[in-house]
Amino acid sequence: MRDTLFEEIDALYEEMVEMRRFLHQHPELSFQEEKTAAFIQEQYQSLHIPYEANVGENGVVATLKGTKPGKTVALRADFDALPIQDEKEVSYKSKKEGVMHACGHDGHTTTLLAVAKVLQKHQDKLAGTVVFIHQHAEELVPGGAKAMIEAGALANVDVVYGTHLWTNTPYGVVQTAPTNFMAAADSFTIQLKGKGGHGAIPHQTKDPVVAGSQLVINLQQIVSRRIDPLETAVITIGKFLSGNVFNVIPNTAVISGTIRTFNAEVQHFIKAEMEKVIKGTCLSYDMAYDFDYAFGYPPVVNHPEYAEKVLEAAKQVKEVQKAEMVAPTMTGEDFSYYLQNKPGAYFFTGAQIDNGFVPHHHPLFDFDERAMKIAAKTLIAATLDVNKS
C-alpha cells in the first residue's frame, strides 16, 4: 500500500505545484485567512471527507476513518502568510500588495491536501483514523494552535506529526531532533522616557538615544555573563526607534526584540535579569521607562520514539538522500502546543533551491517544490507505521 500511495503522490505532483502556486498568489495574514480556509474546505468537500470549519477561529479539521481498527494520527499544516512584499519575478508572484507566503505555508497546505487525497482513495484498506489539522495564524502570537487544541482538534488523537519545508536544508534531506528541536520565542518592548532638547545643548536633556545605546550593550551581557554557558539563550534587539531630526535630542526611544530559550528556568531568569538591567541603566541616566515582556510559543520538544520513527519513515522515500538528527534551532513554532498535549514529532523537509539560498521571511523567499513530494511521502509512511500490523 505504501508504494502505491507514493506513486500516487508522484502522479499528483503537477497538480500540487498548481495548487501551491495558486495559494502563493492569494496569501492572507494571520487571523484573516477566510478565503484560504474556504479553499481548504472546498477540497475536502470534493474528496467527501468530513470536516469541521472555524475550529479555534479559522482552522479546519478533517477526519478520515479507515475501515480497519487502529490508532488516530493527526497531521498538521499551517496556512497563514506574512506582511512582506513579494519581490520575486515569477509567474506565481503574490497578487496581494504587502502580503506573501514567505515561509512555505502554501506548500504545507498543499502537501497535507495531497496526503488526504491519496489516503481517501484507499480508505477501505486504511487502519485507524487520520486527522488533518489545517491551522491558521502560526506566524502571529498567540497563534492558532492553542485555540484549535482547546476547541478539540486533538480529541481522541494518539500521535501527532508535522513538517516544515525548510530552505536552510538541502533538497533530499530530512531532519529532526530527539527532544529539543525549536526554541521558545518571547518578545519585549522597552520605552525610555527622557527629556528632549537642542542637540547643541545636551546637558539640559535626558538623552534616550545614549541611554538606549548603553542599554542594548548591557542587555547582551545577560547571556554572555549571567547564563550558564552550557545553556542556550539568545537576546536579539530587532528595533530601535528614536527621533526624526538630526539636531534634536528626542523625548523617547523604543527598543524591541526577541528572547529565545529552551529551559523555562532560563527563560524566567532572563526576564528577571532584564528588569534589573533596564532599571539600573535608566537609573544611571535619570530616566523613567516602561518594560513589556510577552511570553510567546513554548519550545518544540519532540518525543524521542516518534522522532526516530520520522527518520525511519523518511528512509523509505527514494528521493531522500539523508535522514538525520540535528542540533536544535532557535526559531520558534506553535507546533509546540500539539507536542505538549500528545506524543509525536516535528521535522524539517529540506527545500533549498539549487541555484541559491534565500532565508525564510525574506521578500525573495521560494522553495524547491519537489520537497512537497518528500514531505507528503514521509508523513504517509509515518502515519502507516503507527498502525502497521
pLDDT digits (tens, 9 = 90+) for 201-260: 999 999 999 999 999 999 999 999 999 999 999 999 999 999 999 999 999 999 999 999
CATH superfamily of 2-181+299-386: Zn peptidases (3.40.630.10)
Closest CA to 11 of 164, 112, 114: 114
Closest CA to 77 of 125, 121, 19: 19
pLDDT in tens, 143-153: 999 999 999 99
pLDDT in tens, 300-319: 999 999 999 999 999 999 99
Whole-prediction pTM: 0.94
**pLDDT (0 to 100) of residue 372:** 98
- Helix 105-121 to helix 13-25 angle, to the nearest 10 degrees? 140
Q: Which amino acid is at 241?
A: L
pLDDT in tens, 181-196: 999 999 999 999 999 9
Q: CATH 3.30.70.360 residue ranges in the chain?
A: 184-297
Closest CA to 353 of 98, 91, 12, 88: 88
Q: 268, 306 in Cβ contact below 8 A? A: no
Compute the radius of gyration of the chain from its Cα atoms: 23
**Other C-beta atoms within 10 Å of 268: how many?**
12
Q: Residues for the chain: how many in total?
A: 389
Closest CA to 164 of 108, 80, 220, 224: 108
- From residue 235, give the alpha-carbon distance in Å to each of 180, 182, 213, 272: 19, 16, 15, 13
What residue has cell string 533549498?
Answer: 352
Q: What grid cell was written down for 100?
A: 506573501
Active-site amino acid positions: 80, 138
Q: What is the mean pLDDT of the chain?
A: 97
Q: CATH 3.40.630.10 residue ranges in the chain?
A: 2-181+299-386
Cα dihedral 10→89→172→11 (10° resolution): 0
Share of the chain above pLDDT 90, in %: 98
Q: Which amino acid is at 277?
A: V
**pLDDT (0 to 100) of residue 388:** 86
Please list, residue by residue across 89-114, b when 16 or more beta carbons sit within 10 angstroms of its beta carbon and e when fewer do: eeebebeeeebbbbbbbbbbbbbbbb
| Residue 47: burial class (beta carbons within 10 Å; 0-12, 13-18, 19+) | middle
Q: 179, 302 in Cβ contact below 8 A? A: yes
pLDDT in tens, 97-139: 999 999 999 999 999 999 999 999 999 999 999 999 999 999 9
What is the Cα–Cα distance from 50 to 170, expressed in whole angstroms?
36
Average pLDDT value for residue range 273-296? 98
- Fill in the DSSP letter of residue 298: P
Read off the pLDDT band of 389 (50, 70, 90). Answer: low
- Class of the 184-297 domain? alpha beta
Q: SS3 of 32, please? A: coil
- Taking the CA atoms of 313, 319, 322 and 327 in sequence, report the sign of the dihedral they define: negative
